[in-house]
């Protein structure tokens, strides 16, 4: 499955390039960068005349560079908004997932041995956006 997704991503990116092109330029999210680098390294081993240059500059940077047309594909942790997509008129933007990962909350609270997050806490707006600054901000209904 991973190999199939790799080829889909690569063919989609390569489709925007002329046949004589040797380098695919891309930029964006840092999260998938390690697996992208591995995929691109393996692709280069099979196709030594082709190279994928991926710069992990963050999702916003990938969207910006795709919008400016300085890269062949951009990677982002979230899909582009309709407003962002409307700025691109030279080609159609396609969204498709390439990498899936999880988010794990961590804590370091003196005197607390373990925490059990309730569903209400996990679903609370901002809970995983560093909005919790101390245990008092959690409130009893969330623990």
User: pLDDT tens digit string along 9-21?
Assistant: 555 555 544 455 5
Domain ranges of the chain: 2-86, 103-143
**3-state SS of 40-53?**
HHHHHHHCCCCEEE
User: Is the model more confident about 143 or about 59?
Assistant: 59
pLDDT category at 53 given cuts 50, 70, 90 is very high
Q: How far is CA 60 from the centre of its chain?
A: 10
Q: Which pLDDT score, from 0 to 100, does residue 52 have?
A: 95
Q: Which pLDDT score, from 0 to 100, does residue 69 have?
A: 93
Q: Cα separation of 6 and 25, whole Å?
A: 16
Q: Which pLDDT score, from 0 to 100, does residue 143 have?
A: 47
Whether 38 shows a pLDDT value over 90: the answer reads: yes
Query: Out of 5-9, 79-83, 109-113, which region has the weakest mean confidence (pLDDT)?
Result: 5-9
pLDDT category at 124 given cuts 50, 70, 90 is low
pLDDT category at 6 given cuts 50, 70, 90 is very low
Task: Say which CATH architecture domain 2-86 belongs to.
Answer: 3-Layer(aba) Sandwich (3.40)
CA distances, 83 to each of 57, 67, 98, 117, 122 (Å): 21, 11, 23, 36, 30
């Amino acid at each position: 499955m991973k190999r199939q997704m790799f080829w889909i991503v690569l063919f989609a990116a390569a489709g925007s390039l002329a046949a004589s092109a040797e380098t695919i330029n891309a930029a964006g999210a840092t999260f998938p960068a390690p697996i992208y680098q591995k995929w691109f390294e393996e692709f280069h081993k099979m196709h030594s005349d082709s190279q994928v240059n991926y710069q992990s500059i963050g999702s916003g940077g990938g969207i910006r560079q795709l919008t400016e047309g300085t890269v062949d594909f951009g990677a982002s942790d979230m899909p582009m908004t309709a407003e962002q997509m409307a700025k691109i008129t030279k080609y159609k933007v396609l969204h498709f997932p390439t990498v899936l990962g999880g988010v794990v909350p961590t804590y370091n609270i003196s005197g607390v041995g373990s925490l059990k997050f309730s569903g209400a806490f996990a679903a609370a707006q901002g809970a995983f956006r560093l909005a919790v600054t101390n245990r008092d901000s959690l409130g009893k209904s969330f623990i």
